[in-house]
Amino acid sequence: MLNTRTADIEQQASTGSLPGWDDVDALVSATYDRLRDDRDGTVADYIPKLAAAEPDQFGIAVADVAGGTHDVGDAWAPFTIQSISKAFVYALVAEVLGHEVVGERIGVNNTGLPFDSVVAIELNDGHPMNPMVNAGAIATTALLPGASPDEKWSRLVAALSAFAGHRLSIDEQVYASESASNDRNRALGQLLRSYGRLDADPAETVDLYTRQCALLVSAHDLAVMGATLADGGVNPVSGEQVVSPEVCRDTLAVLAASGLYEHSGEWLFEIGVPGKSGVSGGIVAIAPGKGAIGAFSPRLDEAGNSVRGQRAAAQLSRALGLNVFASRSAAAASGARI
């Protein structure tokens, strides 16, 4: 079971809006102070460039749907988005193709297996199952609109930049490092093609997926991107309508089921909001109608999820009343006697 070290944090009911500005600032700072010396987990080493990450970096950001942002520590430190990109590329594709097509082609069910599993494809007749594992993300990227890889890339960068509220750039060194050690993803692309599940060229699609994972973001960016999904597709800082409310609903449902890979059930049990992680140490946790948490800490658990990021999300979910399953009786809330 995920150890989020939050037993001493009072659970607030998931009702209404976030607390006041000063209260959120204080809670974000208190969470950072509580976890700043946590050294659990290890930095990803299967991608050479990621292995060189500074393991002690740690930042937390909270963005609310009213446009307020709260940052502490290394909240503005850049890192590559990695698998968190899957959520926002899925939203882009769902916006273009619609609920039914994407649901049928990609799926929404958790595999219960590691994010780069080949067995999961074989067990499901070549179906990628969900867009948050690598096979599903590759299949999703193949559905991007555009007549060429360059056109698809331009659409992708523009969409993810709109979620963040500013133009995102690529870390060319990480892109090169991942491309040089990308045999498993290339194999997944070929396997999907062999089952008739990939219409686009596998090599071009995997290259496009690798590039999207190398886009640079910060914990602050992740909080704003998550808050855009929390606010019906409107970026709360820029005011731009990035995707529709229906796409936000679908994306958040997929994240709730599969955003933390085979630990998704534990995440939902402990933290209670849709979320997504990436192997560079980023995590985004999204409370519909309220806002989002972005966290960055490179030390990961065995499933590839940031340890401190999960613990920060757990503490803030409880303290800010984000858990969508937490409630209290109407009678108790009103002070009525039972």
b/e per residue 14-48 (b: at least 16 CB within 10 A):
beeebbeeeebbebbeebbebbeeeeebebbeebe
Rounded Cα gap, residues 52 and 64, in angstroms: 33
| Active-site entry in 28, 62, 65, 86 | 86
Radius of gyration of the chain (CA): 19
Q: Which of 32, 90, 175, 261 is catalytic?
A: 261
Q: How far is residue 138's CA from residue 197's CA, in Å, rounded to a whole number? A: 10
CA distances from 161 to 128, 145, 184, 282 (A): 27, 17, 28, 17
172 assigned to a ligand binding site: no
261 is in an annotated binding site: yes
By residue count, the chain amounts to 338
d(CA 296, CA 307): 10
Is 261 part of the annotated catalytic residue set? yes
- Residue in 28, 32, 83, 177 annotated catalytic: 83
| Cβ atoms 311, 318 nearer than 8 A | no
Q: Count Cβ atoms below 10 Å from residue 167 Cβ, excluding itself.
A: 10
| Residue 83 in marked binding region | yes
For the question of residue 148 being annotated catalytic, the response is: no
Angle between helices 307-320 and 21-35 in degrees, nearest 10: 150
Q: Is 3 one of the annotated binding-site residues? A: no
Helix (H, G, I), strand (E, B) or coil at 170: strand
Ligand-binding annotation for 178, yes or no, is: yes
Give yes or no for a contact between 278 and 305, defined as CB atoms under 8 angstroms apart.
no
CA quadruple 24, 26, 29, 34: dihedral, nearest 10: -110
From the candidates 242, 243, 279, 284, which is the catalytic residue? 279
Catalytic-labelled residue, pool 93, 209, 224, 242: 209
Active-site residue flag, 86: yes
- Spatial CA neighbour of 220 closest among 320, 81, 323, 89: 81
Tell me the binding residues.
83, 134, 178, 185, 209, 261, 279
Could you give the residue numbers annotated as active site? 83, 86, 209, 261, 279
Tell me the binding residues for substrate.
83, 134, 178, 185, 209, 261, 279
